């Protein structure tokens, strides 16, 4: 026996080691984890027997910063929650503050919000499908096709708001800037071309046998669990839960548009994948109607001040159907220039809570596909 | 037949591949440094300070009111108000920023400073080539580096700049009319000495709200 014990003998024998299980750490720098997200996965052979998500690597203290910031000053920070859909984040926060202060939004601003919000949904779903297929090994091609389309929408955002991703577009009581000349025609063109891309994209992989083998019956989320765990957005609807806040709350002007809420029946990865296609088609309907009907008029409530904005003491919860699910902001005002309490209900985080239930008994390679189909952005999960 | 879906998908890929030789919308790649896309007009990245006239120091519109410093969400603006006053572009004595620094390593390009500025003195730039090997000094822009002419502003954001100039001219005309009316009232009153030579033009008054 040598003077130094071997390193392995220093390790305590754990229960895991005794059962011949293997514990692996996926992430946080794993390319399939959509950011810095780690999963401690315990495997029995190839099967997952336990999965523990570890997050917080991207924690930026968003809520506390917002409590020390003016109401307007938090608006650009909301862009950075779910950095793919900054406009819907702005929208949810604006709705919360408008409820708190009792601000009316002019008609044209509501239309602008719907148009930009639905464009955001289109680009979020398109890029999500690309990411998901990329995760499942279809490297590059579908992602690049999706990004080609997303780029056109980002160009629209840049022409309207000045930034591609960190738009900082909504203001309390309306929107920051009106459409520049020619923007609406450009947007109409993008929306008119989008169904062609969707058809192509569906043909590309929806009928693909390999994809169907890998996704059908994988990561099944039952309707009961979806309801009990508080799922929202496409994740819940893929499990057959008919819950769309655009229909439930009828916030903004969504009751004016004719659109349907697609529902899945199996709740597996394939249903979640198809759900995004169907939702994009419904969004296109809303966009077409909104761009046809948009009225003239002011784009911001003239009574709302930009500076020295102090809502009366009270509390408000504003929520919208963001592309990922129910995005809510809860605010308490004590009458000062910054919120007393500021809380975000992030859809990504809540949809992530069922990850272990979805992954148990699946192969380790399926974990990647399941995580991809949940649609998370770590900026929103960790805040 | 098994494999049908795969073949269908591959025809799509082939169509995109072959289409990229003939159709512009299938080949969207831009060979960046040699070839650049046209700038979109509303693009913004970092703020700059506008001056009127040829001399950047004399013509600077900023009067060091420090509103942008207070409202900036990441607090990347630092202003020191001058002790003395200097005549601004139209001759009225105004305070000016003795120090005006923007730390663009902190700035997040939200343009709230532009929205709250009552003097249209700060606007968003479009320059993105700002890499430097000095992490602290190189990214801390002082007022000399920030100062850019109104002509430059017209060049990068023509529509917006025209609107701002229009609003400023309107304000100026209003102020002029006021001065004139006051002068006339004085002249009409008997036994008063003729008013001193009127100023060439009234200074830029705060413009209500954001001209955008």
DSSP A260-283: -----SS-SHHHHHHHHHHHHHHH
Contacts of A151 in chain B (CB under 8 A): 28
Rounded Cα gap, residues A252 and A238, in angstroms: 25
Rounded Cα gap, residues B197 and B125, in angstroms: 39
Rounded Cα gap, residues A338 and B210, in angstroms: 22
The one-character DSSP state at A265 is S
* A29 neighbors A350 (Cβ within 8 angstroms): no
Tell me, yes or no, if B6 comes closer than 8 A to chain A by beta carbon.
yes
pLDDT in tens, B57-87: 777 888 888 888 888 898 899 988 888 887 7
Pick from B18, B27, B40, B124 the residue to mutate for testing the A interface (most A CBs within 10 Å): B40
Mean pLDDT over the full length of chain B: 80
Looking at the predicted complex, does its ipTM rise above 0.85? no
Q: Are strands A341-345 and A325-333 parallel, antiparallel or unpaired?
A: antiparallel
What's the rounded mean pLDDT across residues A11-33?
A: 68
What's the rounded mean pLDDT across residues A177-182?
A: 87
**Element containing residue A314 per DSSP (H, E):** strand A314-322
In which band, very low, low, confident or very high, does the pLDDT at B201 lie, cut at 50, 70 and 90?
very low
% pLDDT > 70, chain A? 94
> CA of B178: how far to CAs of B90, B171, B181, B187, B208, in Å?
16, 11, 5, 14, 18
What's the rounded mean pLDDT across residues A170-189?
A: 88
In which band, very low, low, confident or very high, does the pLDDT at A18 lie, cut at 50, 70 and 90?
low
Tell me, yes or no, if A73 comes closer than 8 A to chain B by beta carbon.
yes
pLDDT for B207? 45
Greater model confidence, B186 or B207: B186
pLDDT for B198? 45
**Window from A23-37, A70-84, B10-24 with minimum mean pLDDT:** A23-37
In which band, very low, low, confident or very high, does the pLDDT at B169 lie, cut at 50, 70 and 90?
confident
Q: Degrees (nearest 5) of the Cα angle A96, A99, A104?
A: 115
% pLDDT > 70, chain B? 86
> Is A205 in Cβ contact with B112 (below 8 Å)?
no
- Cβ–Cβ contacts within 10 Å for residue B45, how many? 17
């Amino acid at each position: 026996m040598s003077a130094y014990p071997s390193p392995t003998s220093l390790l305590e024998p754990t229960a895991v080691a005794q059962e011949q299980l293997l514990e692996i750490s996926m992430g946080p720098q794993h390319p399939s984890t959509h950011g810095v997200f780690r999963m401690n996965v315990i495997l029995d052979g190839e099967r997952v027997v336990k999965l523990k998500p570890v997050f917080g690597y991207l924690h930026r203290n968003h809520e506390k910063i917002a409590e020390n910031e003016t109401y307007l000053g938090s608006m650009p920070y909301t862009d950075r929650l779910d950095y793919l859909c900054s406009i819907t984040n702005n929208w949810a926060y604006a709705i919360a503050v408008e409820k708190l202060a009792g601000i009316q939004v002019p008609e044209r601003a509501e239309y602008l919000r719907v148009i930009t919000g639905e464009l955001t949904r289109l680009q979020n779903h398109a890029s999500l499908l690309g990411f998901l297929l990329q995760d499942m090994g279809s490297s590059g091609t579908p992602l690049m096709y999706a990004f080609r389309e997303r780029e056109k929408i980002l160009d629209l955002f840049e022409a309207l708001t000045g930034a591609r991703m960190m738009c900082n577009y909504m203001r309390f009581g309306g929107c920051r800037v009106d459409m520049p000349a020619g923007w609406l025609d450009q947007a109409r063109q993008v929306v008119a071309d989008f169904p062609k891309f969707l058809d192509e994209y569906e043909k590309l992989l929806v009928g693909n046998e390999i994809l169907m083998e890998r996704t059908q019956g994988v990561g099944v989320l039952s309707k009961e669990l979806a309801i009990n765990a508080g799922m929202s957005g496409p994740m819940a609807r893929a499990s057959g839960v008919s819950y769309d806040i655009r229909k439930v709350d009828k916030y903004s002007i969504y009751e004016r548009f004719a659109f349907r809420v697609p529902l899945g029946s199996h709740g597996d990865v394939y249903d979640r994948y198809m759900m995004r296609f169907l939702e994009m088609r419904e969004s296109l309907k809303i966009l077409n109607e909104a761009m046809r009907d948009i009225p003239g008029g002011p784009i911001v409530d003239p009574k709302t001040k930009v500076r020295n904005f102090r809502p009366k003491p009270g509390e408000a919860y504003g929520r919208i159907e963001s592309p990922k699910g129910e995005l809510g902001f809860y605010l308490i005002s004590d009458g000062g220039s910054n919120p007393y309490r500021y809380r975000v209900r992030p859809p990504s985080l809540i949809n992530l809570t069922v990850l272990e239930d979805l992954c148990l008994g699946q192969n380790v390679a399926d974990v990647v596909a399941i995580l991809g189909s949940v649609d998370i952005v770590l900026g929103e999960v960790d805040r | 037949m098994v494999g049908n879906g795969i073949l269908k998908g591959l025809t799509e890929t082939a169509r995109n591949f072959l289409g990229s030789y003939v159709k512009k919308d299938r080949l969207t790649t831009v060979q960046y440094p040699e070839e650049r896309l046209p700038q979109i007009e509303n693009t913004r990245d970092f703020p700059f300070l506008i001056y009127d006239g040829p001399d950047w120091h004399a013509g600077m519109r900023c009067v060091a009111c420090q509103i942008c410093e207070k409202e900036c969400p990441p607090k990347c603006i630092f202003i020191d108000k001058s002790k003395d006053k200097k005549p601004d572009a139209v001759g009225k004595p105004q305070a000016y920023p003795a120090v005006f620094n923007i730390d663009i390593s902190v700035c997040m390009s939200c343009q709230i400073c532009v929205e709250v500025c009552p003097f249209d003195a700060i606007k968003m730039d479009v320059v993105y080539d700002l890499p430097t090997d000095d992490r602290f000094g190189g990214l801390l822009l002082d007022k000399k580096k920030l100062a850019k002419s109104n002509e430059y502003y017209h060049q990068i954001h023509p529509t917006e700049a025209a609107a701002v100039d229009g609003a400023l001219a309107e304000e100026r005309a209003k102020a002029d009319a006021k001065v004139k009316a006051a002068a006339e009232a004085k002249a009409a009153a008997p036994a008063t000495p003729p008013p001193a030579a009127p100023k060439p033009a009234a200074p830029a008054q705060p413009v209500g709200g954001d001209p955008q």
